[in-house]
Amino acid sequence: MSGASTFHRRRTAAAAWIDYCERLKAAADLLVRDDIPSDELDLAEGLRYLAHLSYAAIQRFVDGADPSRPMLYLLCDERIKSGGDNPDNRYYVTAVSDAYEYELQGRFDACTYYSIVALDRKDMTSGLTAEERDRRRTAAARLDSATLQPEADGSIRVRISRAATVGNHLRIDEHTNMIIVRCTFQSPGVREVELSVRRVDAKGTGPALTFESLSTRLRAAAEHVHDTSRFFGDWTAKFQHHLNQLPLGDQDYIRSTGGDPNILYYLSAWAVGTDQALIVHLPQIPPCLTWNFQLCNQWMESLDYTSARIHLNAATARLDADGGVTIIVCAGDPGHPNWLDTTGHAAGTMCLRFTGATRPAMTETSLVQMDDARKLGRRVQ
C-alpha cells in the first residue's frame, strides 16, 4: 500500500472516531428537556446514565455485535440500568442472525420464571405499530419456563434457527438480530445462571473484522445512546400526566419494545415531598407466578437496590390481613414493613409487574402526610 493510501486510510479512521463522538454528543438533549422535572441529583444521575449507556452500547454494538461469533452479556446489572430494569431479573443478551443456527443451554433451577425472546435491536428504542406487530411478531418468537422442556439432567437446551426443528425451538427471521433471556429470582441470594450459546451450523467462522464494519458499529453505538435516552425520556414525560397513579400500560406497545408477553406492566411517575408519603395499595393480588413493585429515578433506572430497599416482590412483601398489599413510598422509615426508600430523590418513575397473571389487578394510590403513613405503620406492628 502506498504512503498516500496509508495516510488516507488513517485520516478516514480518525474521521470515523470523530463521527462517533459527534453523534454521541446529541444525547445531551436528554439533560435539557423541560418536560422531565429534574433537580441536581437527577442531573448528576443523568450524566452517569449517559456514561453507562455509552459503555453498554459499546458492549452491544462493538464487542457483542457479531452473530457469527455469539457471546452472552448482561443487558443490565447493579450499575448498568435502563428502561425500568427489574432488580429481581438478570437479562442475558446475544446477537444472532437467521443466516446461522445456534444452541442455547442453561440451568434455571433458581429462577421463579424465565423466558427467551427474539427481537430486533431497534424495537427496544422505537416500538412497533399494530401493523408491524402483526407482520413481524408471532408466538414462535418467544419461549418461557411453562413451555420449555428440560433435559434428563434438568438443564434446558434451545435450538435457535429460521427452520423448525424438534424439541425446544426458537424461531428467528430476517428481522431478528438479538435474543434476550430473562431470569427472575423471587428470593434474595444467588442471582446468576449457568448459560451458554454456540453456533451449531457448518458455515465457517464468519466474516473477518473490517474497517467499514467497525465504523458502522461505532456509529450504531452512538445512535443507540441518543435513541435510548430519548425513547425512555419520552416515557418519563408521558408518565407526568398520571403522576402518583399506577395505570396499566399499553401492553401491546410495551411487548413490541421487548417486554415479555407473559408479564403485565404498570408504569408511571411519582413525586413525594419530604413530609409526604405515597401509598400504593393493591386490594387483591391476582393468581400469578410472581409480582414485584419498584422505584426508579427520572431516567427509568432502578434506584440503588444494593444499599436500600427500593422494591418488593411476592416473597418479600408482607400481605395485608385481607390478602392485599399496602406499600409506602417515602424518604424516612414510617415503621411499616413494606416501606420503600426514595433514597434522596424527590421524584422518579415506578413499575409494577405481574408475571403469569390470569387477570389485571386493581391499583389504588394516595399521597398523604408522613404522620398518616406512621399511623399505618403502627397498625401493622
Across 177-202, average pLDDT: 90
| pTM for this predicted structure | 0.92
**Grid cell digits, residue 372:** 398518616
Using the Cα atoms of residue 224, residue 116, residue 353 and residue 112 in order, give the sign of their dihedral: negative
Across 232-245, average pLDDT: 98
Residues of the chain with CATH 2.60.120.600: 243-379
pLDDT value at 2 more than 80:
no
pLDDT in tens, 38-86: 999 999 999 999 999 999 999 999 999 999 999 999 999 999 999 999 9
* Distance, CA of 144 to CA of 126 (rounded, Å): 24
Per-residue confidence band for 259, with pLDDT thresholds at 50, 70 and 90: confident
pLDDT in tens, 160-181: 999 988 899 999 999 899 999 9
- pLDDT > 90 fraction of the chain, expressed in percent and rounded: 81
**Which of these ranges, 109-113, 120-124, 374-378, has the smallest mean pLDDT?**
120-124
Dmax of the chain from CA atoms? 83
- Quote the mean pLDDT of the chain: 92
Q: Edge to edge, what strands does the sheet with 89-95 contain?
A: 73-76, 89-95, 178-184, 113-119, 142-144
pLDDT in tens, 279-305: 999 999 999 999 999 999 999 999 999
Residues of the chain with CATH 2.60.120.1600: 66-205
Helix segments in the chain, DSSP class H = 3-25, 40-58, 130-136, 211-239, 251-256, 370-379
The answer for residues whose C-beta is within 8 angstroms of residue 208's C-beta and 6 or more apart is: none
* Distance, CA of 224 to CA of 60 (rounded, Å): 10
Cβ–Cβ < 8 Å for 293, 264: no
pLDDT of residue 258: 81
Q: For the chain, how far is it from start to end, CA to CA, in angstroms? A: 80
CATH topology of domain 66-205: Jelly Rolls (2.60.120)
CATH topology of domain 243-379: Jelly Rolls (2.60.120)
pLDDT value at 232 more than 60:
yes
Q: What is the DSSP string of 308-342?
A: S--EEETTTSPPPTTS-EEEEEESS--S-TTEEE-
pLDDT in tens, 119-161: 886 655 555 555 555 555 444 488 999 999 999 999 999 999 9
